[in-house]
Amino acid sequence: MSKAKGLIFLGPPGSGKGTQAQILAQELQIPHISTGEMLRQAIDKQTKLGQQAQSYVDQGELVPDELLLGLIRERLSHADAQNGWILDGFPRNVEQANFLDQLLQEELAQFSEQALNLDVSDDLLIERLLLRGRKDDNEDTIRRRLEVYREQTKPVIDYYRDHERLSSVDGNPDPETVTASLKEIIAS
């Protein structure tokens, strides 16, 4: 029997990975798990996690790993995630990628991991982020988030490439074209 798919969406802020993850999760009937969205909800509700995470999110910094790792482990064990899942915004650094690998080996061996990277030009990223207008989409925070991406998240792409689990997709065209490219890769 083929394994259930664990899809990991990678790409800089503004690459469209959230939009694409949402569309594909709906089509494949698997949950879209966005750590950014989980954190925004926790901040809105002012839970303990929300209070601890708020200043990092507001400044465009990564939230410390210890706040997120247990959350991801718990989320991936839910009943709705047993046939597959799409992770959006996690892993964000190599430590998180190692954690996920270990989790997949030890507790979630029924999943085969596939990382999908959306490549988008820098000019288009900034244009899209400024249009989106989320609270952390002001110019200073955007600049910082792109820096954090280059310094900490880009090595995650190399990590999956080295482990031969990476596919890259051109994320510059219109959303429908990007969805079609992603579907082709997932089906292959």
- CA–CA distance, 152 with 176 (Å, rounded to integer): 29
According to the binding rule CB under 6 A, does residue 116 interact with ligand AMP?
no
57 binds ligand AMP per the rule CB under 6 A: yes
Rounded distance between C-alpha atoms, residue 134 and residue 146, angstroms: 15
Residue 136 Cβ vs ligand AMP, minimum distance, rounded to whole Å: 6
Element (H, E) at 118: strand 111-119
Residue 63 interacting with ligand AMP (CB under 6 A): yes
Of 56, 69, 75, 119, the one binding ligand AMP (CB under 6 A) is 56
For residues 35 and 149, the answer to whether their CB atoms sit within 8 Å is no
Tokens of 18: 């959230």
| Stretch near ligand AMP under the rule CB under 6 A, chosen from 22-30, 90-98, 106-114, 178-186 | 90-98
> Which residue's CB is nearer to ligand AMP, number 84 or number 89?
89
Please choose, from the candidates 101, 95, 45, the residue with its C-alpha nearest in 3D space to the C-alpha of residue 68. Answer: 95
Residues found near ligand AMP in the complex (CB under 6 A): 13, 35-36, 39, 56-57, 60-63, 68, 89-90, 92, 96, 145
